[in-house]
Amino acid sequence: MRPHFSEKWGTKNRKQHAAFLAEVEDNPQLHREIVEWFLTLPLWLELEEIRAVHACWHPILMRYLTPPLLSGQRLSSDLMAEATREPDTEEEKNSPEPSIFKAAEMLTKGMEIPLPSGYSFKDKYDYERWRVRVRWWDQNATTYRSAAMVEDELRERLTTWTGLHFGVPRSQCRAVRCSFTLVGPACSFSIDGQRAPA
């Protein structure tokens, strides 16, 4: 859904999604099947014994996002398009006003905050970043240095400026962070008996 040919985001997005695009770019039916399957998945689950979200449990943005969602906290096709429409300016992105994009990004990619003026870093794709993903669940993450989810070399260069506020009741959070890289051929899996396209 992200623009892969836009002047502003195209090169970065194509590079980040190269493996996926190589599989589906010339196979629109497969692409449609994959997107339709993802639209069957909830953005979050809140069950009696467990809460689950892909990246960040943020009750305020969940409440904001709930009214336009389909039952079961699912995105519609139209809402998926709106959820992937990145703001044009950093000012809009950094404003405290919620949006469908900001809510979906927070829940599915994690919390990112702007770095202090004068700070930036290059990501693994060699693109300069002025925002950093943070450890929103960590009670001890009170400075950029302790909160940033970056390599140690960059962490040491970050400021110890305090006063970070994540807008999330961290005292109620219990987080398990999993990270993986798929090596080898793609695999199929299922959730609630619905098989994902291979």
Domain that holds residue 132: 113-198
pLDDT band at 196 (very low <50, low <70, confident <90, very high): very low
Give pLDDT tens digits for 74-111.
Answer: 999 999 999 998 888 888 888 888 999 999 999 999 99
Residue 42 domain-assigned? no
pLDDT band at 183 (very low <50, low <70, confident <90, very high): very low
Q: Copy the structure tokens of residue 148.
A: 């940033």
Residue 130: which of 159, 96, 90 has the closest Cα? 90
**pLDDT value at residue 184:** 40
% of the chain residues with pLDDT over 90: 27
From residue 71, alpha-carbon distances to 37, 64, 86, 177, 190 in Å are 15, 15, 25, 27, 20
Residue 127 domain-assigned? yes
Residue 98 domain-assigned? no
In this predicted structure, the answer to whether residue 187 has a pLDDT above a threshold of 70 is: no
Residue 135 domain-assigned? yes
Contact 77, 83 (CB under 8 A): no
Residue 18 domain-assigned? no
Residue 71 domain-assigned? no
Residue 157 domain-assigned? yes
What's the CA gap between 68 and 65, in Å, rounded?
6
**pLDDT value at residue 173:** 54
Residue 186 domain-assigned? yes
State the pTM of this model.
0.74
Q: Copy the structure tokens of residue 36.
A: 């339709």
Per-residue pLDDT averaged across 35-61, rounded? 91
What's the CA gap between 90 and 88, in Å, rounded?
7
- Number of domains, the chain: 1
Count Cβ atoms below 10 Å from residue 184 Cβ, excluding itself. Answer: 5
